[in-house]
Amino acid sequence: MRNPECGTPFPSRNPTRAASDTPATDLSATTTRRIAVADPGDPLLLAGGGRLDHVEVAYETYGRLNARRDNAVFIAHALTGDAHAAGRSAEDGRTGWWDNLIGPGKAVDTDRHFVVCPNLLGGCKGTTGPSSPEPGAGRAWGPRFPLLHIADLAAVHRRLLDRLGVPRLHAAIGGSLGGMQVLQWVLDEPDRIDRALLVAASMRLTPENIALSSVARHAILADPDFHGGRYAEHGTTPAHGLKTARMLAHVTYVSDRSLTAKFGRDRRTSGTDQRLGPDFEVEHYLQHQGDRFLERFDALSYLYLTRAMDYFDPFGPGTAAPPTATRFRLLSFDSDWRFSTAHSLRLRDALAARGIAVRHTEIASPHGHDSFLLAPPGYHDEVRAFLDS
């Protein structure tokens, strides 16, 4: 079957062959595709009152859509993720950021499921965002890009599935910001997702969460090369601010336990004081993480997406959750202090109070918030069991 909008074929399963007879999915050379999901005749109307007349989405798919079109699993990525969730990229050889979870025979089994993962709206990896061309302006959107809400990200996800001919999801899975997107989607369109799996996620950021993101944003905004967000027009990039923001954020994604186990108080040099520059191995590690981040992310995307997370409050005053048959599974990690288990428990209670089926499990892991990207004991088993239930 061929997608009429982009002329690119998307997978469809041979209806005469059972899933168990399907050869193992080949993820040795995955490809990111792009498709338009909004145009002037069908614009994307944003939750904050803005409007986008042109929206493109970068996405990847793994596995095959079956004849009943009911085996699709949607993956919503976290703040700095992208569409390349699994396999090895044909473009640059990168391994997908959730490759340990998604693939043939893995917890999200691509021999059984048709997996879809897009780069989210506002991102900088192929989906329309602040660094994309502003229609008719001859320049990037920059700070003129409209403010986003999580509901806008979910709206683009739904449009993508419409284009791919997927009427309903067997499951939607999201970690961190990805979990927020899945929750919003169920509330906006309660009859399209059978199972919702939210990992290390939150329904509402705490003041501490907002404060940490505020410091990171300030580092970017105060960088002399930021130029009010018009750094592309000035041929610069706020590298110092963006690197600092990433270094701060990265500290919140790990745990004291994991940093102590990996670095302790080891120093790059010993026996002499290095005065004010990096000396301890953990300092050099953060420098490395910040430098790598500059190679793959845009400062304005970071500002826009962290702000959308701040404002997310789907059960706040004046809101109402529609009835839904979607079953929720919540997973948290005992060493995660950025989105601690308390976040999942608040969400569990909010869903249960509205009569929505929900179950929560806390998993032991030394890796902090980053546990959702790794494979601590029992984690992937929980994912597999929920998809198979």
Catalytic residue among 336, 340, 343, 344: 336
Whole-number pLDDT of residue 271: 64
The response to whether 191 counts as a known ligand-binding position is: no
For residue 119, is pLDDT > 90? Answer: yes
Rounded Cα–Cα distance for residues 265 and 55 (Å): 48
Say if residue 229 is in the same domain as residue 354.
no
Per cent of the chain over pLDDT 90 is: 88
Q: Find where tokens 């602040």 sit.
A: 130
Say if residue 100 is in the same domain as residue 185.
yes
Whole-number pLDDT of residue 24: 67
Assigned token pair, 274 = 């290095």
Say if residue 248 is in the same domain as residue 235.
yes
pLDDT in tens, 351-363: 999 999 999 999 9
- 188 as an active site residue: the answer is no
What single DSSP character describes residue 58? E
Of the listed ranges 167-171, 187-191, 321-325, 365-369, the least confidently predicted one is: 321-325
Whole-number pLDDT of residue 15: 30
Rounded Cα–Cα distance for residues 109 and 80 (Å): 24
Q: Pick from 309, 333, 356: which residue ends a domain?
A: 309
Q: Pick from 291, 309, 327: which residue ends a domain?
A: 309
* Torsional sign, CA 130, 135, 140, 143: negative
Say if residue 275 is in the same domain as residue 178.
no
Whole-number pLDDT of residue 14: 31
Say if residue 200 is in the same domain as residue 212.
no
Q: How many domains does the chain have?
A: 2
- 369 as an active site residue: the answer is yes
Mean pLDDT over 320-345 rounds to: 96
Confidence of residue 18 (pLDDT cuts 50, 70, 90): very low
For residue 311, is pLDDT > 90? Answer: yes
For residue 117, is pLDDT > 50? Answer: yes
Whole-number pLDDT of residue 289: 97
Catalytic residue among 89, 131, 176, 213: 176
- 301 as an active site residue: the answer is no
Whole-number pLDDT of residue 277: 87
Whole-number pLDDT of residue 8: 32
CATH of the domain at 287: 1.10.1740.110
Rounded Cα–Cα distance for residues 224 and 231 (Å): 10
Domain-embedded: residue 6: no
Give me the domain span that covers residue 105: 23-204+316-388
For residue 166, is pLDDT > 50? Answer: yes
Task: Tell me the three state secondary structure of residue 201.
Answer: coil
Rounded Cα–Cα distance for residues 103 and 111 (Å): 8
Q: What is the pTM of this model?
A: 0.92
The response to whether 370 counts as a known ligand-binding position is: yes
Rounded Cα–Cα distance for residues 173 and 196 (Å): 6
Mean pLDDT over 209-224 rounds to: 98
Domain-embedded: residue 353: yes
Mean pLDDT over 95-114 rounds to: 98
For residue 19, is pLDDT > 60? Answer: no
Say if residue 186 is in the same domain as residue 219.
no
Domain-embedded: residue 245: yes
At residue 292, φ and ψ (nearest 5 deg) are -65, -35
Say if residue 134 is in the same domain as residue 198.
yes
For residue 80, is pLDDT > 90? Answer: yes
Q: Which residues pair with 171 in a beta bridge?
A: 73, 195
Say if residue 124 is in the same domain as residue 256.
no
Whole-number pLDDT of residue 88: 97
Whole-number pLDDT of residue 10: 30
CATH of the domain at 40: 3.40.50.1820
Whole-number pLDDT of residue 270: 67
Find out whether 305 and 148 touch, Cβ atoms under 8 Å.
yes
At residue 216, φ and ψ (nearest 5 deg) are -65, -45
Please give the mean pLDDT across all residues of the chain.
93
Say if residue 264 is in the same domain as residue 175.
no
Q: Pick from 309, 344, 362: which residue ends a domain?
A: 309
Whole-number pLDDT of residue 148: 98
Find out whether 303 and 217 touch, Cβ atoms under 8 Å.
yes
Domain-embedded: residue 37: yes
Say if residue 185 is in the same domain as residue 295.
no
Say if residue 199 is in the same domain as residue 67.
yes
Say if residue 297 is in the same domain as residue 151.
no
pLDDT in tens, 230-275: 999 999 999 999 999 999 999 999 999 999 999 999 998 766 676 7
